[in-house]
Amino acid sequence: MLNDSGDPPKATLKLSQERSLEERISPDEVQLVYETYHRELFAFLIGVLNDPSAAQDVSQVVFRRLIELGHTAQRETIKGWLFTVAMNEALDYRRKVVRQRQHLEEYCKQIENSQGPTVDEVLVSEEEASRLRELITQLPKDQQQVVRLRIHTGKTFAVIATELQVPLNTVLTRMRLALDKLRKGMHNEFGSGNE
Amino acid sequence: MMSTDMDNDLNWLAMRYVLGELSESDRDAFEQRLLGDLAACEAIAAASRMRHGLHATIADSLVHQPSQQIVRSSARSLPAVAAALLCLSVTFVGVGYWLSSPVSNHIAAELVSRWRTGMDASIDDSDTSVDEIDDSNVESEIPEWLIAGVALENQNSSNGHDNEVKDN
């Protein structure tokens, strides 16, 4: 199912409608799905769980489910099925696992001790980070300020509004406008970049 | 245009979710939406990547900023530093010349004495017993320019004495 250059096709995959229920999804198809969607799925799980270690665990569970149950997918594309499973597993994980903080601490220790990439480096390439750096400097100062405060210091919008002595809606608007500009700038350079 | 506005709304909602800025009820509602809305899931993935990209970018720029500021501020202050050094040099030479004059023979010693008295007073102010003061430590607190000035005065006075002897 790979194209001539050996890359996975950009188009979404469809499962054969003629496959019987007993037939499992083939290893090649699993590999193709993994190569196509694992990065975006990992980013999605980090967004939901806010815990890189938990995101990795759930990601593995999702692809295990793909092997076991991928052939039963009723949806038009496998991607939708994959993300639905991921969301269910993430909610399950959050309900069951109480020790999220311990996982993050262990993960941070692993990051400190290992030579491996950080979460930031895994999700965003160096070229993308470089382009983002440029785009941030092109933002109006007030938008830059809100972005830096929110992302780097982790202060909530309400706290930022209090510190800057502006209405909360002003902070939200600045952040939103900044994100729109950054998103457009990145899209112009790299496309959707999700697959 | 309308779908772009809706996309922007969804992207904004996704970012607020990723940042944990939604209320509990809004968060629950959005998570229910994620169970069946692929576009919303994709928006979450994009928001998560944007967030981590910004985090890496901002952290990196803050790491480089202080050293650049130090370099820039150092470069800007060089003329001021040079001027200050020049003033100090002139002062040092002037004090040394002044101390070398015969009239100020005893003044150098007086200065040292006054300096020491001043140190004593400041130490007293800090409620330290006079008996506990170690003179050697106080001695070391005397500025070098004063010591040098005294040394120069002593040297010149001895040279002056020799010259007087020669003249005579």
Q: For CA atoms A182, A183, A189, A190, give the dihedral sign.
A: positive
pLDDT: which is higher, B157 or A130: A130
> What is the distance between the alpha carbons of residues A185 and A103, in angstroms, rounded to a whole number?
35
Nearest alpha-carbon partner for B54 in A11, A47, A131, A95: A131
> What is the distance between the alpha carbons of residues A144 and A59, in angstroms, rounded to a whole number?
34
A7 falls in which pLDDT band (50, 70, 90)?
A: very low
Mean pLDDT is lowest, of A46-60, A99-113, A127-141, B122-136, for B122-136
Contacts across the A-B interface (CB distance below 8 Å): 110
A10 falls in which pLDDT band (50, 70, 90)?
A: very low
A95 falls in which pLDDT band (50, 70, 90)?
A: confident
Q: Do B46 and A87 touch (CB under 8 A)?
A: no
- CA-nearest residue of chain B to A79? B38
Contact in structure between B46 and B14 (CB atoms under 8 Å):
yes
Residue of A44, A124, A150 with shortest CB distance to B53: A124
Taking the CA of residue B57 and the nearest CA in chain A, the distance in Å comes to 6
Query: Is the predicted pLDDT of residue B148 greater than 80, yes or no?
Result: no
A139 falls in which pLDDT band (50, 70, 90)?
A: very high
Query: Is the predicted pLDDT of residue A146 greater than 90, yes or no?
Result: yes
Q: Do B48 and A46 touch (CB under 8 A)?
A: yes
A3-23 average pLDDT score: 48
What is residue A121's predicted lDDT score, i.e. its pLDDT? Answer: 79
Q: What is the average pLDDT score of chain A?
A: 82
Supply the Cα-derived Rg of chain B in whole angstroms: 36
pLDDT: which is higher, A59 or B75: A59
- CA-nearest residue of chain A to B4? A180
Mean pLDDT is lowest, of A45-54, A126-135, B10-19, for A126-135
- CA-nearest residue of chain A to B5? A180
A118 falls in which pLDDT band (50, 70, 90)?
A: confident
Burial class (CB in 10 A: 0-12, 13-18, 19+), B116: middle
What is residue B39's predicted lDDT score, i.e. its pLDDT? Answer: 96
Taking the CA of residue A102 and the nearest CA in chain B, the distance in Å comes to 20
Query: Is the predicted pLDDT of residue A21 greater than 50, yes or no?
Result: no
Nearest alpha-carbon partner for A127 in B57, B59, B65, B45: B57
Mean pLDDT is lowest, of A13-17, A77-81, B140-144, for A13-17
ipTM of the complex: 0.73
Mean pLDDT is lowest, of A39-43, A122-126, A150-154, B160-164, for B160-164
A120 falls in which pLDDT band (50, 70, 90)?
A: confident
Write out the two tokens for A132. Answer: 């983002």
B79 falls in which pLDDT band (50, 70, 90)?
A: confident
Contact in structure between B21 and A157 (CB atoms under 8 Å):
yes
Query: Is the predicted pLDDT of residue A1 greater than 50, yes or no?
Result: no
Does the pTM surpass 0.95? The reply is: no
Most confident of A44-53, A183-192, B114-123: A44-53
Residue of B19, B38, B52 with shortest CB distance to A124: B52
Query: Is the predicted pLDDT of residue B130 greater than 60, yes or no?
Result: no
Contact in structure between A30 and B31 (CB atoms under 8 Å):
no
Nearest alpha-carbon partner for B16 in B35, B1, B3, B29: B29
B41-72 confidence digits (pLDDT tens)? 999 999 999 999 999 888 776 665 555 554 55
Instruction: Tell the residue number behind the tokens 């040099």, with chain if given.
Output: B89
Taking the CA of residue A44 and the nearest CA in chain B, the distance in Å comes to 4
Q: Read out DSSP for A142-157?
A: HHHHHHHIIIII---H
Q: Read out DSSP for B1-44?
A: -HHHHHHHHHHHHHHHHHTT-S-HHHHHHHHHHHTT-HHHHHHH
Taking the CA of residue A28 and the nearest CA in chain B, the distance in Å comes to 24
> What is the distance between the alpha carbons of residues B73 and B30, in angstroms, rounded to a whole number?
49
> What is the distance between the alpha carbons of residues A182 and B8, in angstroms, rounded to a whole number?
12
Query: Is the predicted pLDDT of residue B26 greater than 90, yes or no?
Result: yes
Instruction: Tell the residue number behind the tokens 């290893």, with chain if given.
Output: A27
Tell me which chain A residues have a C-beta less than 8 angstroms from the C-beta of B15: 175, 179
> What is the distance between the alpha carbons of residues A12 and B99, in angstroms, rounded to a whole number?
92
What is residue A117's predicted lDDT score, i.e. its pLDDT? Answer: 73
The runs of H, that is alpha helices, within B101-143 are: 105-125, 135-140
Query: Is the predicted pLDDT of residue B145 greater than 90, yes or no?
Result: no
Contact in structure between A42 and A60 (CB atoms under 8 Å):
no
